[in-house]
């Protein structure tokens, strides 16, 4: 018997089949309804924005990986996730070159400078979005609907005190960024991810319940606050980015609640009508600390 050819590795000798690529591509797939809705509501221009986001992210990732002499791992789908998530934060009128700049910043400053996939402290898509928010404040806040310039529901509320009907918010018949329109389709995609175990429900649960409770306590309309703006999309897709969120169960609750508190502070007292992006980025910073202080008590450990 050819015993010298036996393979010797350490246990376990069985592996579950899920891969990083499968997780990433499932996230992409779960966003298809939201992307289709965006193109239905805002026209084909929405698809162009998404395409530019994806291609620019992928290209930047490719260049950086080559420059760093690393294996090109575009097939893991993570750069595509960033591209889609970035595009979904853009208003439908944004010039395509702004999207491209945002994508380059997202992948380079948001991800590759930290060492690439798994090492970035901040959500890369939000880094890209934060950059263009600062660099092109007017372009990034120009909203249209049915070809007309229009105010987003949160703007309407901030400026005019006007509350958009819930039903319009729920089905997405409103002005806004590409991805923040239909609450229903966001929940549909998120449901798939939760079912597959690729999305930890504690973060959105902590975030949404915090926003609901605080806005209600402040005498605001909590349902409006849940449905308007990018809260749902942020809660299910940006605040749950695995790389940049805590690994412990208690940590996920703390993270979600923390994001929720910042959202309410910015929405009610800040200069911006919406605060989801900055809230998530702020909480991203606290993740190492949260992980450290929420280390689970090991079985049989006495404190």
Partner 1 sequence: MSVATFKKGVHPPYNKLYSSNKEIQQIPQPDEIIIPLQQHIGAPLEPVVKRKDQVKRGQLLADTDSFVAAPVHASLAGEVTAVEKVPSSQGGRVLAVRIKPGEDQEEELAETPGGELEEVSPDEIRQAVRQAGIAGMGGAMFPTHVKLVVPEGKNIDHLIINGAECEPYLTVDHRIMLERSEQIVDGLRYLMKATGAEKGLIGIEDNKPDALKAMKSAAAEFDNIEVRATETKYPQGGEKMLIKALLGRDVPVGGLPLDIGVVVNNVATAAAVTAAVRKGRPLIDRPLTVTGEGVNNPGNFEVPLGTPVGDVIKAAGGFAGEPGKVILGGPMMGQAQASLDVPVVKGTSGILVLPRSQLEKYSPAPCINCARCVDVCPMYLVPTRLEKLAQQEKLDKLEEYQVMNCIECGSCSYICPAQRPLVHYIRVGKAAVTARNKSEQGGS
Residues near partner 1, by CB under 8 A? 1-4, 6-16, 18-20, 22-23, 73, 76, 78, 116-119, 197-198, 200, 242-249, 291, 295-302
CB of 7 to partner 1, least distance (A): 5
Structure tokens belonging to residue 78: 């993570």
Identity of the residue, 117 or 235, whose beta carbon is nearer to partner 1 in the bound complex: 117
Question: Which structure tokens are listed for 217?
Answer: 């306590």
Q: Measured between alpha carbons, how far is 236 from 241 in angstroms, rounded to an integer? A: 9
Rounded to an integer, what distance in angstroms lies between the CA atom of residue 37 and that of residue 29? Answer: 14
How near is the Cβ of 186 to partner 1 at its closest, in Å?
Answer: 21
Nearer to partner 1, 1 or 44 (CB): 1
Distance, in Å, from the CA atom of 54 to the CA atom of 85, rounded to the nearest integer, reads: 9
- Compute the least distance from the CB of residue 8 to partner 1, in Å: 5
Nearer to partner 1, 172 or 246 (CB): 246
Token readout for 257 is 């609640």
What is the 8-class DSSP label of residue 148? E
The distance of closest approach from Cβ of residue 21 to partner 1 in the complex, given in angstroms and rounded to an integer, is 8
Angle 151-156-157 from CA coordinates, rounded to 5° = 155
Query: 143 vs 237, which CB is nearer to partner 1?
Result: 237
- Closer residue to partner 1 in complex, CB, 14/134: 14
* Cβ(155)–Cβ(142) below 8 Å: no
CB of 268 to partner 1, least distance (A): 31
In angstroms, the CA 289 to CA 52 distance is 36
272, 266 Cβ separation under 8 angstroms: yes
Distance, CA of 173 to CA of 176 (rounded, Å) = 10
The smaller minimum CB distance to partner 1, of residues 4 and 69, is found at 4
Return phi, psi of residue 166, to 5°: -55, -40
Angstrom distances, CA of residue 57 to CA of 34, 103, 118, 235: 19, 5, 16, 22
Nearest Cα to Cα of residue 26 among 219, 181, 193, 263: 193
Evaluated on CA atoms 108, 88, 44, 28, the torsion sign reads positive
Q: Which is nearer to partner 1, 19 or 142 (CB)?
A: 19
Rank residues 118 and 165 by Cβ distance to partner 1 and give the closer one. Answer: 118
Nearer Cβ to partner 1 (26/155): 26
Q: Are 59 and 51 in contact (CB under 8 A)?
A: no
């Amino acid at each position: 018997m050819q015993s010298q050819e036996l393979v010797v590795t350490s246990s376990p000798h069985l592996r579950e089949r899920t891969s990083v690529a499968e997780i990433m591509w499932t996230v992409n797939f779960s966003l298809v309804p939201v992307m289709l809705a965006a193109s239905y509501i805002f026209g084909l221009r929405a698809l162009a924005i998404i395409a530019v986001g994806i291609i620019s992210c992928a290209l930047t990732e490719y260049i950086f990986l080559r420059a760093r002499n690393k294996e090109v791992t575009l097939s893991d789908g993570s750069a595509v996730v960033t591209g889609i998530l970035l595009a979904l934060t853009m208003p439908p009128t944004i010039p395509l070159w702004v999207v491209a700049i945002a994508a380059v910043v997202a992948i380079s400053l948001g991800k590759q400078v930290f060492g690439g996939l798994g090492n970035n402290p901040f959500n890369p898509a939000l880094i890209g979005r934060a950059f263009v928010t600062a660099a092109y404040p007017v372009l990034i806040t120009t909203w249209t609907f049915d070809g007309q310039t229009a105010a987003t529901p949160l703007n309407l509320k901030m400026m005019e005190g006007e509350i958009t009907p819930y039903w319009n918010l729920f089905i997405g018949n409103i002005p806004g960024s590409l991805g923040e329109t239909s609450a229903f389709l966001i929940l549909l995609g998120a449901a798939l991810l939760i079912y597959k175990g690729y999305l930890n429900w504690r973060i959105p649960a902590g975030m949404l319940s915090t926003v609901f409770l605080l806005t209600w306590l402040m005498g605001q309309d909590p349902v409006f606050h849940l449905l308007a703006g990018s809260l749902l999309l942020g809660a299910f897709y940006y605040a749950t980015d695995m790389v940049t969120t805590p690994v412990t169960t208690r940590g996920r609750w703390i993270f979600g609640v923390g994001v929720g508190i910042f959202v309410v502070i910015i929405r009610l007292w800040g200069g911006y009508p919406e605060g989801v992006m900055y809230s998530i980025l702020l909480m991203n910073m606290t993740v190492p600390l949260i992980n450290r202080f929420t280390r689970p008590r090991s079985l049989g450990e006495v404190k």
